[in-house]
Chain A
Amino acid sequence: MSSSNNSGKVLKLKSKDNQIFEVEESVAIQSELIKNVVEAGCDIGVIPLLTVHSKTLRNVIEWCQKHVDYVEENDSGSNEEEIKNWESEICEEGNNNGSDDEETKNWESEENNNGSDEEEAKNWESEGNNDGSNKEEVENWEWEENNDGSDEEELENWESKFVDVDKDSLYALLLAADYLSIDSLLERVIKQVADVIKQCRSVEEVRQTFGIKSDFTPEEEEEIREEISWID
């Protein structure tokens, strides 16, 4: 499913518990840490990741792979070509006096409403414009929206499932993402932790969810409850 990247280089990553993982460079460099190692030319042999357990590293690699796949699926050459086709067709239609700059001016200017410019405007304004001749431009131009955002949604759903794990796994992911410097993973896990906290309705529920034991005396508990009562 994932197309091989250009260099095809494979890196060896070693987990805390000494397991070796072979990972394509394009996937591994989602981690800024690893990217720096590669760029500094230190990626000979095995890259040790001292704090990441194999269980977590496996998941992290899965995350990186998914994100590399996603980017490739949505940013492939074929789309670039479609955009070029659309651009040239726009230039051909309507008021073509051979000057691209002027073309730009004509359809960008909102004030400019003579007949030829209206046609210019129609060509690139896809909304409400569905006659046959323009339909193809519309589809090509709107390649992102034409996916119904389903790829983005699909990724979001995948990410949500990915972070729907027990709290220990969540922490391990969080610490790994921080150590390896993988922004996308870090952000998503942080969001998950924050969501879980916000869903808890009481201090006790947060304690239970995160396995935190209270070491306050009953008097202190009462005092604290009083102290924060002002936000209610």
Chain B
Amino acid sequence: MSATHRRRLNQPSPDSEDSGILDERILLLVLESIKWDLQVICVTASLNRKLRATAKRLLWRQLCVYRAPRMVATLANGAPNGRIGGGWDALAKLMFYCCGCESTRHFKLSRPSPSHFARASRFSKTSGRSFLSKKCRGDLLFVSDPCEHPMGEKEDDLGIYRGVFRGFMRSKTRACLIRRQVAFEERVRCPYCGTRVWSMTRARLVPKSAARRLGSRDGRLEYFVCVNGHLHGTCWLVPLSSDEEVCDDDDDDGSEEIDGEAYNH
């Protein structure tokens, strides 16, 4: 068993305070055996301060690595000391949670659409490229397929998507936003880490390729990027006729399926 061989320490345990379930090694062994069950990690992170800190430092990261190894490897590449903007818990939430949608200035809704646990998600770099304006194409961005939210008979379906930048602090996108002195949104916050966000629509940084990628009508979308490089957005999805297809030309290039269903018991 790899855990055993990796973690075998032929030394006495440090002190009795670290015994039992608080012993980090035991925790890692147990959680690994249950494949970093999301529910269990959430509970563990709520038990006491020490475990909350351990979760923040280690457990959420292990979960992300286990569920999306390629994406995490790419993202962590831009994070030298093993940390990631907004924290690993925020990334885990981004991986498994569709944040729903409310009306905003550039995107009006008749009624808000509810957030929910995401059953299965696919994040793709190629997709992300479509969301970067030409001058920012050097950045690396993962974006999910849109999650479809029906809005009733008379309206198109709503598409809600989310994504994450690699190394946002050093990205062209961020440099551009700051150079243009784009103001933060007053009423919107990042649903994943709670920080301030910029509206890319307002910043005029939404390329035409974004709508095409989503299968949406031009101009009928909006997305936000927060200071940690999390992206969340919405669009109206054009109903597809049988001879139309959504552009889907990647898969050789770092798209990753994340199975949320495996966690939902």
Contact = CB atoms under 8 A, between A and B. Distances in A.
A216 B20 CA distance: 20
Contacts of A167: 20-21
B136 interface: no
A194 B29 CA distance: 10
Given A167-B20, A175-B13, A194 B30 contact: yes
Contacts of B26: 171, 174-175, 178, 193
B202 interface: no
A215 interface: yes
Nearest to A167: B20
B25 A171 contact: no
Contacts, number: 99
Contacts of B29: 174, 178, 186, 190
A158 interface: no
A203 B48 contact: no
Contacts of A153: none
Given A210-B20, A225-B46, A228-B45, 18 more contacts: A51-B12, A51-B13, A167-B20, A167-B21, A186-B1, A187-B1, A197-B30, A210-B21, A212-B47, A216-B49, A227-B89, A230-B97, A230-B115, A230-B117, A231-B42, A231-B97, A231-B263, A232-B117
Interface of A: 32-33, 50-51, 167-168, 171, 174-175, 178-179, 181, 183, 186-187, 190-191, 193-194, 197-198, 200, 203, 206-207, 210-216, 224-225, 227-228, 230-232
13 contacts: A32-B8, A167-B20, A171-B21, A175-B23, A178-B8, A194-B33, A197-B40, A198-B34, A198-B37, A198-B40, A210-B20, A210-B21, A215-B48
